[in-house]
């Protein structure tokens, strides 16, 4: 029963990202991109126990990370984030949870967008080059 939930959350992340990319070219106002907002994601990702919410968080983060990487490659554009291969899932989660806790004024925004902001701040190509 676990695997389908993880796959579903991963696919939700990929679909969200795809909709953001394609909608960004001609996006009408007041479009609902996702029903998952920062408040929800913070709750899901703050659960340290092996629950369906924690699994959703993990899969959502991986889906967004992989979706951004795939979209960057497919569109041939400059990457907005470059997560090193050695970064583990717990570190991704810690980065996103810290960002959400540090920016409570943004928790009403779509979770996928907040994940992209958090990861691009922590793993920007410029940041990687300066190390």
Q: Between the CA of residue 15 and those of 68, 91, 119, 122, 131, what are the distances in Å?
A: 11, 23, 18, 23, 33
101-121: pLDDT as tens digits: 999 999 999 999 999 999 999
Q: Between the CA of residue 31 and those of 73, 80, 110, 126, what are the distances in Å?
A: 26, 23, 11, 32
Q: Tell me: pLDDT of 60 over 80.
A: yes
User: Mind listing the domains of the chain with CATH numbers?
Assistant: 2-129 (1.10.890.40)
16-47: pLDDT as tens digits: 555 555 555 555 556 556 789 999 999 999 97
Q: Tell me: pLDDT of 3 over 60.
A: no
Using CA atoms, how far apart are residues 56 and 8, in angstroms rounded to an integer?
A: 8
pLDDT (0 to 100) of residue 1: 46
pLDDT (0 to 100) of residue 18: 58
């Amino acid at each position: 029963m676990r695997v389908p939930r993880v796959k579903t959350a991963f696919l939700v992340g990929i679909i969200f990202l795809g909709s953001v990319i394609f909608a960004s070219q001609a996006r009408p106002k007041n479009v609902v991109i996702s029903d998952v907002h920062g408040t929800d994601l913070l709750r899901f990702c703050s659960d340290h126990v092996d629950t369906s919410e924690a699994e959703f968080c993990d899969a959502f983060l991986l889906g967004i990370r992989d979706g951004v990487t795939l979209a960057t490659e497919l569109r041939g554009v400059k990457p907005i984030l470059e997560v090193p291969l050695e970064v583990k899932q717990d570190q991704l989660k810690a980065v996103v949870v810290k960002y959400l806790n540090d920016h409570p004024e943004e928790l009403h925004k779509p979770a996928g967008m907040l994940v992209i902001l958090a990861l691009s701040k922590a793993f920007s190509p410029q940041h990687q080059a300066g190390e």
